[in-house]
Amino acid sequence: MYDVIVIGSGPAGYVAAIRASQLGLKTACVEKSFHNDSPQLGGTCLNIGCIPSKTLLDSSHRYADALHQFSDHGIKVQNPTIDIPKMMDRKNKIVAQLTGGISSLFKANNVTQILGTATIMGANTVEVTYEGKTETLETQNIVIASGSSPIDIPVAKVNHKNIVDSTGALEFQAVPKTLGIIGAGIIGLELGSVWARLGSKVTILEALDDFLPMADSKISKEVLKEFNKQGLNINLGCKVNAAKSNKKNVTVNYENNGSEFELNFEKLIVAVGRKPNTENLFSKSSDLSVDERGFIPVNNFCETKVKNIWAIGDVVRGPMLAHKASEEGIMVVERIAGNQVEMEYAHVPSVIYTHPEVAWVGQNEKDLSDAGLEFKTGSFPFAASGRALATGESTGFVKVIADKKTDTILGVHAFGPSAADIVQQGVVAMEFKASAEDLGLTIFSHPTVSEALHEAAMAVNEKAIHIGNIKK
């Protein structure tokens, strides 16, 4: 009898399993993916998502710098070339190191690793099947962390050759001369950036009329300008009707503003989002169900309608983000152990790891206007930052939004160098219910790009030093 069985070993599952064991709970983690008859730990994020994509983003950025930026620093490089197989080998080694690290952490924390496909039979029973053999496990609590998979669309069926999903786009062995991407979300933009930097002619087809509607509108406008300048040909309001492939290319037919168009690509990436892995996860006897989109309904503490069965990460509501999933895992097992821990979902940050980075946390102007709330804002451009200019990274700005009456910070938005880290500082401030004045009175090291956050916070109350203050 286990105290906790976790289904899935991605950022939600492995973190939950480790913390559960740390809390003195007898814990097992079931993973269906395998390599050499051992569980392939880490889920999408470590194996085919966050880590490999960031590795390629870094490699491609360094190559682009060598081509276009080194000369600005007085560094001369003769005809730099890129070795794609070596780049992929580096990526694979990093992935292997990290996934192997999880296995070591499981051993160090006495988490039992179980290989196989899990089926929830009831509140206290899990069946695990591997190579035709089924084992029945008993447990006090079940934590579902089975993750998500790329959405496949009928008009552009993935063939894993020249029509690929995000996984396939991380495995190209050569730079496609022309690359089409369906979807201008986070995944589409990051993958497009990788291959555009390496020399591919990239065209992105987005169904929505608005670019990055989840981000602050002023930042979205600047991001769109910059990405188009970088070679990402982003087309909005495009309805893809068909994608037909042959040995040489993929022909995509789409509509835009009532007109029909046709484009040919060497490779096509389908990046229209992800769906929860909940199919065949539980038997009818379990009393569990999913909503119309396949998500498992839960309350604010990730409890399902069945007592002692919890669900976390990509299988439940909210953004499909590794850090959100991990924190849910910690919250759930802490509550299983009797600790009254909770999460502040309003403070989950989002990041696009392009160059420059795009990041945000909290509410934007549209959110607040739609809710009828009064607010004030302050912005600071990286063009006025000494450190940003010194590093040649002066594109973009930081924006702070605060309550008009209380001055409490409601949102932090950034586009530019180290945007992810800058917004993370905003997350900490918001967790402690800081005001814009509090942040403005905080000492920031000089010279750092983080000073842009400091100045933006001061600008909220017309006290910025290194830009003119806009009278509100």
Residues annotated as catalytic are 446
Closest Cα to residue 294, out of 274, 265, 270? 274
In this structure, what are the phi and psi dihedrals at residue 112, rounded to the nearest 5 degrees?
A: -80, 125
Q: Is 78 left (phi over 0), alpha (psi -120 to 50) or beta?
A: beta
CA distances from 212 to 7, 67, 186, 395, 421 (A): 33, 29, 9, 18, 20
Separation between Cα atoms, residue 472 and residue 469, nearest integer Å: 9
Token look-up 């079931």 returns 30
CA distances from 225 to 195, 221, 232, 247, 399 (A): 18, 6, 10, 35, 18
CB-based burial label for 324 (10 Å; 0-12, 13-18, 19+): buried
Buried b / exposed e across 204-221, counting CB within 10 Å, b at 16+? bbbeeeebbeebbebbbe
Q: What is the 3-state secondary structure (H, E, C) of 167-189?
A: HHHCCCCCCCCEEEEECCCHHHH
Buried b / exposed e across 267-296, counting CB within 10 Å, b at 16+? bbbbbbebbbbbeebbeeebebebeeeebb
